[in-house]
A and B are shown apart, each in its own frame.
Chain A
Amino acid sequence: QVQLVQSGAEVKKPGASVKVSCKASGYTFTSNYIHWVRQAPGQGLEWMGIINPSDGSTNYAQNFQVRVTMTRDTFTSTVYMELSSLTSEDTAVYYCARAGSNHLDFWGQGTLVTVPS
């Protein structure tokens, strides 16, 4: 069965960076893109970007283009999302989700990133 298992919760200082991992299993890793989506406390879902695990190509949402980097490791079937220059407004749960053509069909459990103000 398809599974996306994310790394654990993080607490970071303002100005620091955070790197969240998402390990895929149960399917061919390079066959499906991976999205990253975040959700601030009490707020809605916000699309951050997408990575093609096959060749590492990416596309980032305009709001994150300067601060986000998505990478992958095909040997461990893991994708990573690194967000830099953190502020308290980046406090959120970060999700990875597998792309099923033009929708998000399987989601990770989420990773809480806290940036105290």
Chain B
Amino acid sequence: QSALTQPRSVSGSPGQSVTISCTGTSSDVGGYTYVSWYQQYPGKAPKLMIYDVIERPSGVPDRFSGSKSGNTASLTISGLQAEDEADYYCCSYAGNFNWVFGGGTKVTVL
């Protein structure tokens, strides 16, 4: 199972929107509505931000949103804030009780 493809980095100014893509195959991202996104600060454990492509857990700001088209999922951060500077990872169910992560994207707030 190959890792999902994410851009290494994206950046934006405070208040702007940034979108992170996550490209897989029809065997993972394209085959299921089970894409999730995680935020990770340096030295900390990941935190769930989006699940089932579009769902937000309680407590996650609504400026975080998810979507999917074909084999590519996306995470959009609207109204970028300084505290959003972190690493973001996508994850997809890949069938037969297997999961696969993306390589991670560093979000920089300029």
Contact = CB atoms under 8 A, between A and B. Distances in A.
A9 interface: no
Contacts of A103: 34, 36, 48, 51-52, 91
Nearest to A37: B101
Interface stretch (B12-20, B67-75, B92-100): B92-100
B51 A45 contact: no
B93 A45 contact: no
Nearest to A99: B99
Give the bracket for the number of chain A residues in contact with chain B: 20 to 34
B89 A44 contact: yes
Contacts of A97: 46
Contacts, number: 67
Contacts of B48: 100, 103-106
B104 interface: yes
B3 interface: yes
Nearest to B48: A105
Interface of A is mostly: strand
B63 interface: no
B30 interface: no
B98 A59 contact: yes
Interface string A74-100: 000000000000000000000101001
Contacts of B38: 45, 104
Contacts of A59: 96-98
A109 interface: yes
A45 B36 CA distance: 13
A77 B52 CA distance: 27
B45 A110 contact: yes
A108 B44 CA distance: 10
Interface string B3-16: 10000000000000
Given A44-B3, A45-B46, A62-B1, A105 B97 contact: no
Interface of B: 1, 3, 32, 34, 36, 38, 40, 45-48, 51-52, 57, 89, 91, 93, 96-104
